Amino acid sequence: MRVPKKERQRLLQETIDRNPFIKDEELSKQFAVSIQTIRLDRMELKIPEVRERIKHVASERLDEVKSLALSEVIGDMIDLKLDESAISVLDIEREHVFSRNEIARGHILFAQANSLAVALINDELALTTKADIRFSRQVHLGERVVAKARVIKLRRDGRTDVTVESYVGDECVFSGDFTIYRRGEEEQA
């Protein structure tokens, strides 16, 4: 055997993961085995044929566009009492971090908090006008951030004060005081 089966299959998996568009024929050349062997390997590894793989990538992309448009909240909302409190969860993934050091970018944590604060407001139109925020600890790739938002004050002028605190485990990693405008057309978020 040129290269042990297990090793070949490991590499095969990796190769296809990195390039889902590759055909059996090219794989067979790359690994210097017959095309049938490649197909047996794919079977054992439950890797579908190239067209299915491409289709999968493509449909993921369509989903992405939709979910991005739909998700008015960044992170998953797991609790919401309008005009009272809300909680969302965000798992920190590759696209959220600086590639150099795998630390989450500040605006990701801000985005989670901000969209949660906005979602909390029981109104057609809610926009952030002001925020004081503080990042109190680095958040790393793979960590789960739980953001908790709470309405502090409902003012008569249409503004609402919301405070958000985000935790990894029991450590506070982010806190912010937001002022949210509702229904108006003059201010911004």
Partner DNA sequence: ACTGCTATTAGTACCAGGTATTAAGTTCTT
Partner DNA sequence: AAGAACTTAATACCTGGTACTAATAGCAGT
| 50 lines the binding site for DNA (CB under 7 A) | yes
Positive or negative torsion for Cα 18, 19, 23, 26: negative
| 72 versus 170: smaller Cβ distance to a copy of itself | 72
User: Taking the CA atoms of the chain, what radius of gyration do you get in angstroms?
Assistant: 24
Q: How far is the CB of 18 from DNA (least distance, A)?
A: 16
CA-angle at 68, arms to 123 and 16, nearest 5°: 160
The site for DNA, by CB under 7 A, has a size of: 18
Residue 167 in the binding site for a copy of itself (CB under 8 A): no
1 contact choice in DNA, a copy of itself, none (CB below 5 to 8 Å, kind-dependent): DNA
Q: Are 116 and 75 in contact (CB under 8 A)?
A: yes
* Helical ranges in the chain per DSSP H: 5-18, 24-31, 35-45, 50-70, 106-120
Q: Which two tokens stand for residue 171?
A: 């450590």
- Interface with a copy of itself includes 185 (CB under 8 A)? yes
The listed partner (a copy of itself, DNA, none) that binds 18, CB under 5 to 8 Å by sort, is: none
Q: Give the binding range for DNA (CB under 7 A) out of 32-40, 100-108, 127-135, 156-164.
A: 32-40
